[in-house]
A and B are shown apart, each in its own frame.
Chain A
């Protein structure tokens, strides 16, 4: 909703500016609070895990962090406030390079001009991936300067978009240990929770921000960002997808058509799903345990594609 509203504003502004022959660049200010708390996976097999997250409201963590949006040319200022008892940082892969630690109680401002439309992973790169595993990751989306529903300027058009921030958590060996101040043995990682936008599959299959749900003839730009440490091999039923970008690299038309795509740890991809036929279909990871929540089938990385 906010995206559409913003978009409408952008289009109107663009028309106005076009009339006077000027370019427009907005200033976007975000504040993220690093917070310790818990994260709950609902449904059978689910659990409440110790977690750390970036949140747009101080108080409790958000897993993943909020989706940040900007358009090419915008000035983006992100203030990160560390409300936790450990050092943390904030790096947008491919966008910012300042990996300086923010001490407990401190804050730091990251300013940049959004320059290349696409999907980016932001995360805490400190502490041997423990900070990221605890939930400190999220997505930045950059749209084209004209604010249009295109993957990039003069790129492929879409009707609506979805962002899938995927990841995993190892409750026993990582979250329980780091959450209580212990030392994680990072050489062993056996995640038992596999998440889409912080959700197990039972929630993700009904979450309007996650499901591809629309009218036949429309198309969804699906922005996939892997904050986890496992490769996620996603399989789409119902239709193949067009691969538009891989790890920020724009592909060349005609775009490759695949029904399975692998997103490696900290990898990203933008794919276009054309809603081609009536029906209901799953989208799920094709690796055994990653479809489950602690072994409970379909409460892992899975969502629905609803075409009507």
Chain B
């Protein structure tokens, strides 16, 4: 463990010195800090479930880091800090403490937030400098005893978003202008098995997953009338949805109108990489750990569409009772 820590210290030193070597006008250091805090949430059936969160939000607030157009050497560097000494609540050893794993970021081992590969569990700063081919959606989540800590709510969207050469955010999924959007929302998919929230250590509870609550963006949204997430858009505009799978079962995403007709949408990126050929579909399976960025265009006449996620069991893809969660886009 010690050599890895020393390696990390020298890495931090190198980063501190680095700006002198290649100064660029627009490069940004994006410094974000999260702490650990619990959240008691009353679920749709009146049951209170305790979550562990990053800074009190379920899911945690999105973190955005920029990438620049072809021909510029500028890069943004994300320094995502989990504050030291802010580790309550936590479990006892060996699953004490917390980390942040930037899922899909492919960072150095010392930045990966995995305790089993020598990352500290008592607070740290995780650094990532994405390149322009990495525009898209990721997530950050705790990587301690993930079977529990993910379930507890320690996750949030991590977005690599294009900037122009002077450092202004672009409303595009990638630097390809075909991915321009007028509106964007993060659809974080997650599920809750309350038994996992009270079990600790290597309990046999963790051998069997029985989700009871299904969510988008931390809300249940069991009906079109009370959606988990909603958006008021204009007609004939592009709506981008970032679909981020931190759930623990299978799922299918669709966009339907009020009569249940599936509407086409286009997939531009998957797991933070642009598809060579964007794909127009009416249904998309999203598995745990996957991210997709999709765009659809609202019609020219007023109405309401319901982007929705149907959660399914891992064995035969059968849908769970009350397993569909609705979003809503009004135009």
> A182 near B: Cβ within 8 Å?
no
When distances are taken between beta carbons in the complex, the residues of chain A under 8 Å from B208 are: 190, 192, 289
Judge if A295 is at the interface, Cβ distance under 8 Å.
Answer: yes
Q: Please, how many residues of chain B have a CB less than 8 angstroms from a CB on the other chain? A: 44
Q: Is A110 an interface residue (CB 8 A)?
A: no
The listed residue (A190, A238, A297) touching B202 by CB distance below 8 A is A297
A254-B276, A296-B202 given as contacts; is B287 within 8 A of A262 (CB)?
A: yes
Which residues of A250-266 have CB atoms within 8 Å of chain B's CB atoms? 254, 256-262, 265
| A258-B206 in contact (CB<8A) | no
B residues 131-151 in Cβ contact with A at 8 Å: 145-147, 150-151
Q: Which residues of B contact A239 (CB under 8 A)?
A: 106
Contact residues, B287-309 vs A (CB, 8 A) = 287-290
Q: Which residues 1-57 of A have a CB within 8 angstroms of B?
A: 44-45
> Taking the nearest CB of chain A, how far is it from the CB of B164, in angstroms?
25
- Bound complex: CA of A190 vs CA of B147, how far in Å? 16
Q: Is the CB of A289 within 8 A of B147?
A: yes
Nearest B-chain residue to A299, judged by Cβ? B202
Cβ contact within 8 Å between B288 and A286? yes
Q: B253 in the interface, Cβ–Cβ < 8 Å?
A: no
Query: B221 → chain A, closest Cβ, in Å?
Result: 22
User: Which of A58-66, A85-93, A213-221, A227-235 makes up part of the contact surface?
Assistant: A227-235
Q: Which of B95, B104, B209, B272 contacts A289 (CB 8 A)?
A: B209
Closest residue of chain A to B133 (Cβ to Cβ) is: A257
B255 adjacent to chain A (CB < 8 Å): no
A231-B250, A265-B315, A295-B203 known; A259-B147 Cβ under 8 A: no
Query: Is A292 in contact with chain B by the CB < 8 A criterion?
Result: yes
Residue of A nearest to B191 (CB): A288
Contact in complex: A295, B202 (CB < 8 Å): yes
A158 touches B (CB below 8 Å):
no
Determine whether the beta carbon of B207 is less than 8 Å from that of A233.
no
Chain B residues contacting A240 (CB-CB under 8 Å) are: 104, 106, 271, 273
CA distance A235 to B112 in the complex (A): 13
Q: Give A271-305 as 1s and 0s: 1 = Cβ < 8 Å from B's Cβ atoms.
A: 00000111111101011111110111110000000
If A262-B285, A279-B108, A294-B204 touch, whether A287 touches B116 (CB-CB below 8 Å) is no
Residue-wise, chain B 266-284 has the 8 Å CB interface mask toward A (1 for contact) of 0000111101100000000
Task: Check if A258 sits within 8 Å of B270, measured CB to CB.
Answer: yes
Enumerate chain A residues within 8 angstroms of B270, measured Cβ to Cβ: 256, 258
| Residue B73 interfacial (CB < 8 Å) | no
Once the chains are docked, how many angstroms separate the CA of A41 from the CA of B103?
A: 29
Instruction: Please determine whether A287 and B209 come into contact, CB atoms closer than 8 angstroms.
Output: yes
Contacts of B231 in A (CB 8 A): none
Whether B207 contacts A237 by the Cβ 8 Å rule is no
A174–chain B nearest beta-carbon distance, Å: 12
Q: What is the bound-complex CA distance between A277 and B306, given in angstroms?
A: 43
- Of A231, A260, A291, the residue contacting B314 (CB under 8 A) is A231
Q: Which residues of A contact B223 (CB under 8 A)?
A: none
> B204 — which chain A residues lie within 8 A by C-beta?
192, 294-295
- Please name all residues of chain B whose beta carbon is closer than 8 Å to the beta carbon of A287 when the two chains form the complex: 209, 248-249, 288, 314
Assess whether B289 is in contact with A298, with CB atoms less than 8 Å apart. no
Instruction: Say yes or no for A189: interface residue by CB 8 A criterion.
Output: yes
CA distance A143 to B290 in the complex (A): 30
Could you give, for residues 174-216 of chain B, a 1 whenever the CB lies within 8 Å of some chain A CB and a 0 otherwise? 0000000000000000000100100000111111110000000
B207: chain A residues at CB < 8 Å are: 190, 192, 289, 292, 294-295
Report the separation of the CA atoms of residues A233 and B248 in the bound assembly, to the nearest whole angstrom: 9
Residue of A nearest to B146 (CB): A291
Residue B109 CB within 8 A of the other chain: yes
Interface residues of A in 192-231 (CB under 8 A from B): 192, 229-231
Selected contact of A288 from candidates B104, B108, B116, B196, CB within 8 Å: B196
Contact B112–A281 (Cβ < 8 Å): yes
A227 to chain B, nearest CB (A): 14
Q: Does the CB pair A281–B202 fall under 8 Å?
A: no
Cα A233 to Cα B289 in complex, Å, equals 7
> Which chain A residue has the least Cβ–Cβ distance from B246?
A286
B116-138 residues at the A interface, CB under 8 angstroms: 116-117
Check A282/B117 contact, CB under 8 A, given A291-B147, A297-B202.
yes
Q: Are A231 and B114 in contact (CB under 8 A)?
A: no
Query: Does A259 lie within 8 Å of B287, measured CB to CB?
Result: no
User: How far is A277 from B245 in the complex, measured between Cα atoms in Å?
Assistant: 26
29 A-B residue pairs with CB within 8 Å: A190-B208, A192-B204, A192-B208, A235-B103, A239-B106, A240-B106, A240-B273, A258-B270, A262-B250, A262-B285, A262-B290, A265-B315, A277-B108, A281-B117, A284-B146, A286-B289, A287-B209, A287-B248, A287-B249, A287-B314, A288-B146, A288-B193, A288-B196, A291-B147, A294-B207, A295-B202, A295-B205, A297-B145, A297-B146
The 8 closest A-B pairs by CB, nearest first: A260-B289, A279-B109, A262-B287, A286-B289, A286-B288, A295-B206, A233-B287, A192-B207
**A residues adjacent to B (C-beta < 8 A):** 44-45, 189-190, 192, 229-231, 233, 235, 237-240, 254, 256-262, 265, 276-282, 284, 286-292, 294-298
Known: A189-B315, A292-B206. 14 other contacts (CB 8 A): A192-B204, A235-B103, A258-B273, A265-B315, A277-B108, A279-B109, A281-B109, A287-B209, A287-B314, A289-B248, A291-B147, A292-B207, A297-B146, A297-B147
